[in-house]
Structure 1
């Protein structure tokens, strides 16, 4: 530091132009073109300017939340010459932590380019250290990023780092999964042979199909009604989303922009007395995949709600269902046949509050897909 100060003082005394020093600051709308183009180069490996559609989407999700404020949003490293060398994209999410409300940051992308970017990345990482954050989390971190989170005082939640996958029509599910890398397998010419193989398998092995739960029924409801059902069922968790009406409506609106995942749908599960015991929110792409964002239920009804959910999704004709793991559902979901777990990315969290960190480590926390990146087009599009 003293050497650098000496150089600066010498430059001032000689009248030479001072080099500009970089700084960490809140991302502003004027940064959208540079940040979007950086995203395109780093995550899509395309050396071109970001499309207008991507820039509009970045503005919508990183500046459009009703919770947005500069201190709760994305940050960038400004190199002092107008360039952006690195950035952390973040969305504010409101949580309740042992009765107190806090605005958390969901980190969606950490990017850097060049020498200035390397310096900036280190500065941004320091800004994200636990001692400076009320609550900051990511559900899709790489191993290297996870190590940085832990070094900064954070924790990794292993169960929330997993996705589950339940195949209803295994051959079609295989074609959809592998077809992401092998385009030939997405050909319509293969759809019928795979469907025929599934019909034969399901006829010979009826247990491929999830059993219904005696006395339980499933009913379609509007996604807007999910928050009213979820609120009392989430009271058992010390840490959980607040989902004010304005924030929830905004999340549903932006989630619906992710049309490659299908239609945003919601179902409630009722018991033999007609009482609602659970609900789930999901994207449904007809004949292909159900992407389950959130499952909620009354305490002790995990087995009935998840089993009925799988039965209903199978009856709707999906080839497979996928979703993020939650500790309170693991025992119930693991009883399913044709189910596997897949490591999606590390779920990491930093906080300066000891009670929040303790609750997370004890799995006394509910996050779920709507309070994560699962709905974002940045994972599936552009």
Structure 2
């Protein structure tokens, strides 16, 4: 990654005054206020635990260093008026390890903030980056990524949603728009209606692939299986034990999505052909983080995944679309794809860019922002 200070171009005579530097722990209160002003306009003050969460997520990763962490811009008065929050993640790119920046929030306030945001964006131009990406960019941000030499990946910019229990799934969507509905005793009513609907329309039930079963596994077992199954990709997360353990601990802080579960998928010969990791809360949507499998086992693993989640009583299931799983996922009934944010990346490496537009790229789940409380909380 490039050093986190401003470039020589940014300090030419005539440029507006200001400093770009790595975010420090002493900045957390100011960044929490900036986040709240930018993304939570209905709140007058930051949530009491926001600063602590920002410190945990953006300073305690075993890969953290100022060179691959978050950036802030200070105006002439020394006030932070714009910032980019970033988490370092280790990837393997054509056999060589590389530390990427996962960009989680790009925020600014006022006129000086707009100028600061422009300076921050220049710091992250594709020509200067080994690898940085975001899985939740807005349309305006995606346009900036592409204009600066980056990519917007169309498939990974979609989220699939498979409905098992339509009344409960509708309640889940309503809860997302009107949080107060979560306090109303509506789940029991939805359960009664869903029981009747599923009896009259059997296609809501997900059928497993023939001759496959699944079983719960530990996070360590999941990491070991996932590492072997990601070898098929030119670019994929490393998930070293220190980093994987940290990611799992950080993800578990998002209790609004439920508990984290890992499962393996086994064929009739007893061979493990896939594994997956997901959040689950009773009666709500399961949020699938990662699905991995052996080559040519996509259909069997995806069918078993949906049958499992249906069997556990979830309203539905959702997760990031992946090119290698598209054909298997599209075979499901009562499935839709939604655009929730652009998956964008920047890199100066031609082989990484070529993998991203082909079939050799894997990111998402734990190696993305989907688990962060910043998307669901505060």
Paired with 1:292 and 1:5, the residues of 2 have a C-alpha distance of: 50
Report the counterpart of residue 328 of structure 2 in structure 1.
Answer: 332
Given candidates 159, 163, 187, the residue that maps to 1:167 is 163
Paired with 1:244 and 1:80, the residues of 2 have a C-alpha distance of: 42
Given candidates 358, 361, 369, the residue that maps to 1:362 is 358
Given candidates 33, 37, 50, the residue that maps to 2:33 is 37
CA RMSD of superposed structures (Å): 1.7
Given candidates 125, 132, 151, the residue that maps to 2:128 is 132
Distance 1:371 1:271, change over 3 A: same
| Gaps in structure 1 of 5+ consecutive residues | 9-19
| Gaps in structure 2 of 5+ consecutive residues | 1-8
Post-superposition CA distance 1:211-230 (Å, at most 9, x none): 12221111011223211001
Using the size of structure 2 for normalisation, the TM-score is: 0.94
1:303 Cα deviation after fit: 0.2
Report the counterpart of residue 295 of structure 1 in structure 2.
Answer: 291
3-state SS of paired residue (2:243) = helix
Paired with 1:220 and 1:110, the residues of 2 have a C-alpha distance of: 38
1:181 Cα deviation after fit: 1.9
Report the counterpart of residue 3 of structure 2 in structure 1.
Answer: none
The aligned runs of 1:221-370 (5 Å cut-off) are: 221-370=217-366
Using the size of structure 1 for normalisation, the TM-score is: 0.93
1:81 Cα deviation after fit: 2.5
Report the counterpart of residue 214 of structure 1 in structure 2.
Answer: 210
Paired with 1:47 and 1:210, the residues of 2 have a C-alpha distance of: 41
Given candidates 56, 61, 64, the residue that maps to 1:65 is 61
Distance 1:123 1:330, change over 3 A: same
Report the counterpart of residue 110 of structure 1 in structure 2.
Answer: 106
Any conservation in 1 of the 2:163–2:169 contact (CA below 8 Å)? yes
Post-superposition CA distance 1:211-265 (Å, at most 9, x none): 1222111101122321100111111100000111100000000000000000011
Is the aligned partner of 1:86 residue 2:82?
Answer: yes
Distance 1:5 1:98, change over 3 A: closer
1:5 Cα deviation after fit: 5.2
3-state SS of paired residue (1:234) = helix
Matched residue pairs, number?
Answer: 368
